[in-house]
Amino acid sequence: MNTREYAQQLDCKDPLKQYRAEFYLQPGTIYFDGNSLGLLSKRAEASLHNVLHAWKEHGIDGWLKGEHPWFYLSEKLGEMTALLIGAKPSEVVVSGSTTVNLHQIISSFYKPAGKRTKILADELNFPTDIYALKSQLMTHGLDPDEHLIQVKSQDGQTLREEDIIEAMNDEVAFLVLSGVLYRSGQIIDMERLTKEAHQHGILVAFDLCHSIGAIPHSLDDWNVDFAFWCTYKHLNGGPGAVAGIYVNEKHFGTHPGLAGWFGSHKEKQFDLEHDLTPAANAGMMQIGTPHVLSAAPLLGSLSIFEEVGIDQIREKSVKLTDYLIQLVDAELSEFDFQVRSPRDASLRGGHVFLEHKEAARICKALKAEGVIPDFRAPSGIRLAPVALYNTFEEVWEVVQILKRIMKEELYKKFDNKRDVVA
């Protein structure tokens, strides 16, 4: 297990090995940061050029002409995404950004009344979600200190679902959680928590930024109300790629809280009436004109997911992260690394979170040695071997490089503080 030859044998048996050639990999570099920004694929590049060509050839007529008419692009990408999350095509639209889509969900469906005024989240959530929830409460004249409940973590890295359930009561109107925690990679049982929340009359929205493209979902079967996500991590949509939003069909017909002309019924949009006729599907959640060029790469990147299927991706992802944890245990035990991701693969997403007091310096040393990790303050190192383009041999190499960095104390060349962008 601890040899390069063993890792190479695993690569020889990998049914997804041909997809590595689909991505732009830098020579001499091992990219383990795909849970922060996925790599560019040749298909994504081609689909961007396709849409650029349509602009070049058709001008304004590109809205209705070309291989992928822009007027229907958000819905087309929603259809391509639906299989990844277990949803109907009508329930998914690619639009906005993670934060904008959360604002839209809360603006449209959070209706504080009587004593049911509170929003339930957690203390490990990504900050942008908390910023959005606090600002939404303030627009209703409610004090976030009183009306936002953040479930505490008992170990600083993971959440106990029992603690979340215990916080559910008849004062809570809305629950917002991540499907996979961005630091530890813990998978939250979305089905269980949705069922419990509904029994308390609570609506549920999940942030899928770190789960979509990494693990399977069955949002319809789980009866989830809403979900939102970015597309530049595991989906490889590119920096600033257009995000996604899911609305269970049982909520169709609601007037959007943040209305805009692209939330119109398609056949009514260019009537240009001052009374909005919302789309009769998730398209109602759109606000402004879609960012066509920032959505275009998804046509190519999502086609890979359609071809491979999320189950195969998950199977390899589990093998990669299992192997990484095994090697950390075997090779780095003397250097005080702590694995803070769940060791049970069924509870772990697509990355491994290591904790070390010298984490910032170690990440800089890794980059100097050609490994691209991800630092999370104050002492976290996220390593994400991605099923579509990373190899088992790369996992082995990263652990060997880490071992050499620690043995030779190469990290001491660097300051133990993050750069502007960590």
Q: Which residues line the annotated binding site for pyridoxal 5'-phosphate?
A: 98-99, 126-129, 207, 210, 232, 261, 289
Is there a catalytic annotation at residue 126?
yes
- Residue from 109, 110, 206, 232 carrying the catalytic annotation: 232
Quick check: is 353 catalytic?
no
Q: Residues annotated as binding site?
A: 98-99, 126-129, 207, 210, 232, 261, 289
387-420 burial, b at 16+ Cβ within 10 Å, e below that, comes to: bbbbbbbbbbbbbebbbebbeeebbeebebeeee
Q: Which is catalytic among the residues 33, 122, 207, 374?
A: 207
207 a catalytic residue: yes
HEC secondary structure over the chain: CCCHHHHHHHHHCCCCHHHHHHECCCCCCEECECCCCCCCEHHHHHHHHHHHHHHHHHHHHHHCCCCCCHHHHHHHHHHHHHHHHCCCHHHEEECCCHHHHHHHHHHHHCCCECCECEEEEECCCCHHHHHHHHHHHHHCCCCHHHHEEEECCCCCCCCCHHHHHHCCCCCEEEEEEECECCCCCEECCHHHHHHHHHHCCCEEEEECCCCCCCCCCCHHHHCCCEEEECCCCCCCCCCCCCCEEEECHHHCCCCCCCCCHHHECCCCHHHCCCCCCECCCHHHHCCCCCCHHHHHHHHHHHHHHHHHCHHHHHHHHHHHHHHHHHHHHHHCHHHCCEECCCCCHHHECCCEEEECCCHHHHHHHHHHCCEECEEECCCEEEEECCCCCCCHHHHHHHHHHHHHHHHCCHHHHCCCCCCCCC
Reading the block at residue 391, the tokens are 């190899």
Catalytic residue, from 71, 72, 116, 126: name it: 126
Name the catalytic one among 118, 233, 340, 364.
Answer: 233
Q: Which of 43, 118, 364, 382 does the annotation list as catalytic?
A: 382
Catalogue the active-site residues. 126, 207, 232-233, 382
